[in-house]
Amino acid sequence: MNELRTRLRRLRRTEALRRLVRETRLSPEDFVYPLFVVHGSGVRNAIPSMPGQAQLSIDQLPAEARELRALGIPAVLLFGIPASKDEQASEAYAPDGIVQQAVRALKQADPALLVITDVCLCEYTSHGHCGIVRDGDVDNDATLPLLARTALSHAQAGAGMVAPSAMMDGQVAAIRQALDENGFAQTPIMAYAAKYASAFYGPFREAAESAPQFGDRRGYQMDPANVREALREIEADIAEGADIVMVKPALAYLDVLARARQRFDLPLAAYNVSGEYAMIKAAAANGWLDEKRVVLEVLTAIKRAGADIVITYHAKDAARWLKE
Ligand code: PBG
């Protein structure tokens, strides 16, 4: 028995020892909380497939900002549901569009809150695709000016960071140029660099009313089978001027996160997406999983794999649990 010199259990015996040797620490400061904003007033439309999440009207946002500040969550990611959709995604870049209004309301409520905007057209197009459709296909180069215009309008409304998610080639460069030429050289870009064509976005498309009306997004989002291609996507976005790069979704792509962490030194974000949230909520509601333990385990795993920043619908709950 005594020849067993290495006993890994020695450091697991008490909570104090375990805390001392813990390699990954989760904090509310790691989180970005997504918000869905809609027109109207007094609106809190619960999203059935995302229990605990709702579409909110502008007047609900100051209270939201106060709650996030109290919980120590530094940032939000905004998605908008427009009043009407068209082929050109007009409301995406309208100065008084829903996201532009939401940015102004949140910055007024709490100037210290980091307001990040999702830059995409899918919520705003009548066909639900992420760009301009020509002959049944999304036209990459025709979409770039509209993405740039959208990002610029967000910055002009006061956004602290823009996050392009349309998966068009050259979108980061187009946005960087538009920002730089218009006085926003200091506005950072968080690129959805490796964004997969994932079935885990299902609940989000209900929340954001952005399901494509024909076809799917496999012509522009990545094939779940590929990891080397993800590294090329990230490399391209860095070359175009991205300040932060993202892998999305998170849980089925932890290997992609780990590879990206090894290869690149930029801050790395992971998006713990709607379907990942919905699975845990559904199992917890059935009494099949301990929600608190599972959520903290999953968020810790995303950080352990290499993420510095975790975008998650669990942010508020997790922040509360971390304070207990
Ligand atoms: C917009 C966008 C999507 C998500 C974030 N930005 C949906 C999509 O690409 O279909 C998904 C987020 C989630 O599932 O939580 N393009």
Ligand 1 centre distance from Cα of residue 118 (Å): 9
pLDDT-above-70 percentage for the chain: 99
Helical ranges in the chain per DSSP H = 15-20, 61-71, 98-109, 140-157, 171-181, 202-207, 228-240, 254-263, 274-285, 291-305, 315-323
pLDDT score recorded for residue 3: 86
* 47, 76, 120: residue to mutate for ligand 1 pocket, most atoms within 8 A of CB: 120
Q: Which of 248, 281, 303, 316 is catalytic?
A: 248
Please work out whether the CB of residue 276 comes within 6 Å of at least one atom of ligand 1.
Answer: no
Ligand 1 centre distance from Cα of residue 76 (Å): 15
Residue range 262-302, pLDDT digits in tens: 999 999 999 999 999 999 999 999 999 999 999 999 999 99
Q: Is 85 a catalytic residue?
A: no
In a domain, 239, yes or no: yes
In a domain, 67, yes or no: yes
Ligand 1 centre distance from Cα of residue 293 (Å): 26
In a domain, 14, yes or no: no
Ligand 1 atom nearest the C-alpha of 203 is 14
Residue range 119-144, pLDDT digits in tens: 999 999 999 999 999 999 999 999 99
pLDDT at 90 over 80: yes
In a domain, 15, yes or no: no
pLDDT score recorded for residue 92: 97
Going by their DSSP bridges, the two strands 54-57 and 133-134 should be labelled as unpaired
In a domain, 5, yes or no: no
In a domain, 266, yes or no: yes
Domains in the chain: how many in total?
A: 1
Residue range 226-250, pLDDT digits in tens: 999 999 999 999 999 999 999 999 9
Please work out whether the CB of residue 118 comes within 6 Å of at least one atom of ligand 1.
Answer: yes
On average, the pLDDT of the chain sits at 97
Residue range 187-206, pLDDT digits in tens: 999 999 999 999 999 999 98
Please work out whether the CB of residue 122 comes within 6 Å of at least one atom of ligand 1.
Answer: yes
Ligand 1 atom nearest the C-alpha of 166 is 16
Confidence band, pLDDT 50/70/90 cuts, at residue 1: low
* Burial group, residue 51, by CB count within 10 angstroms (0-12, 13-18, 19+): middle
pLDDT score recorded for residue 7: 97
Ligand 1 atom nearest the C-alpha of 277 is 15
Ligand 1 centre distance from Cα of residue 170 (Å): 19
Q: Which of 85, 107, 195, 281 is catalytic?
A: 195
Q: CATH number of the domain that 44 lies in?
A: 3.20.20.70
Residue range 44-87, pLDDT digits in tens: 999 999 999 999 999 999 999 999 999 999 999 999 999 999 99
In a domain, 209, yes or no: yes
In a domain, 232, yes or no: yes
Could you give the CA distance from residue 306 to residue 158 in angstroms, rounded to a whole number?
30
Please indicate, yes or no, whether the overall pTM of this predicted structure exceeds 0.85. yes
Specify the higher pLDDT residue, 54 or 1.
54
Residue 286: other Cβ atoms inside 10 A: 8
* 201, 247, 279, 314: residue to mutate for ligand 1 pocket, most atoms within 8 A of CB: 201
Domain coverage including residue 41: 24-322
Could you give the CA distance from residue 119 to residue 293 in angstroms, rounded to a whole number?
33
Please work out whether the CB of residue 31 comes within 6 Å of at least one atom of ligand 1.
Answer: no
What average pLDDT does range 208-218 have in this prediction? 93
| Atom 7 of ligand 1, residue of closest alpha carbon | 201
Distances (CA, A) of 219 to 91, 130, 206, 236, 275: 24, 11, 21, 18, 21
Ligand 1 centre distance from Cα of residue 211 (Å): 10
Q: Is 316 a catalytic residue?
A: no
| Atom 10 of ligand 1, residue of closest alpha carbon | 201
pLDDT at 110 over 70: yes
pLDDT score recorded for residue 230: 98
- Asked if residue 249 has a cis previous peptide bond (ω within 30° of 0), the answer is yes
Please work out whether the CB of residue 130 comes within 6 Å of at least one atom of ligand 1.
Answer: yes
